[in-house]
Chains A and B, each alone.
Chain A
Amino acid sequence: NAGVTQTPKFQVLKTGQSMTLQCAQDMNHEYMSWYRQDPGMGLRLIHYSVGAGITDQGEVPNGYNVSRSTTEDFPLRLLSAAPSQTSVYFCASSGTANQPQHFGDGTRLSIL
């Protein structure tokens, strides 16, 4: 099983560029989330979804957009990249609200 797949694994952007981080899961999970991880700050929730067509904001949503048109995919869009968005981004999914979350391998994003 592939589980949660994130692409790309690494990306370098210039300030002001836009891009989409991809996340796909093959476990038919309803719940999906995006986190960013910065040194000393743990994982902070950006956006999450409880099912196709339903998304909501997490702790740090500014500068990011999401959509959930299918159960499998939950892309994260950076509208106009800023150096403060340099981070490691993790996507996660779970079958129900209180089941363990399965994480992808992460995308390491640097913005110059």
Chain B
Amino acid sequence: GQQVMQIPQYQHVQEGEDFTTYCNSSTTLSNIQWYKQRPGGHPVFLIQLVKSGEVKKQKRLTFQFGEAKKNSSLHITATQTTDVGTYFCALLKGNTGKLIFGQGTTLQVKP
């Protein structure tokens, strides 16, 4: 079935460094969603991308959707300790609300 591969699985950075996580699919995606899960918490929606080449920004977070709609990335500029958590991409299948998640990237930030 359609899946997304997310890399890296873990990332340790020094506070102030940048961070990027990538999602890759072998098939064309209709859209992709990004979620953040704090340690011990539940996933919280960040953003949805639907257009080829789309770029969206939320403060220090930049989300991109590839031109071929087969990959996406989340980039955090100048990480802070509040950025700690696991970031998931997820693809929406059809019109069913069926969301398939990537494995997630766990970010740790050293103060």
**What 10 additional pairs, Cβ within 8 angstroms, besides A33-B99, A43-B90?**
A45-B98, A45-B99, A50-B96, A56-B98, A59-B100, A98-B95, A101-B43, A103-B42, A103-B44, A104-B42
Chain A interface residues toward B at CB < 8 A:
30-31, 33, 35, 40-45, 48, 50, 56, 58-59, 90, 92, 94, 96-98, 100-106
CB closest residue in chain B, given A106? B42
Given A42-B104, A103-B43, A104-B42, A98–B92 Cβ distance below 8 Å?
A: yes
A-side contacts of B88, CB under 8 Å:
42-43
Instruction: For the complex, give the distance between the alpha carbons of A105 and B48 in Å.
Output: 22
Which A residues lie within 8 Å of B111 (CB)?
none
Task: Render B76-111 as a binary contact track against A, CB cut-off 8 A, 1 for contact.
Answer: 000000000000101010111111111110000000
Contact B101 A33 (CB under 8 A): no
Q: Tell me which residues across on chain B come within 8 A of A97, comparing CB atoms.
A: 92, 94-97
Leading 6 A-B pairs by shortest Cβ distance: A31-B97, A100-B45, A103-B42, A42-B103, A43-B101, A97-B97
Q: In the complex, A98 Cα to B6 Cα: how many Å? A: 21
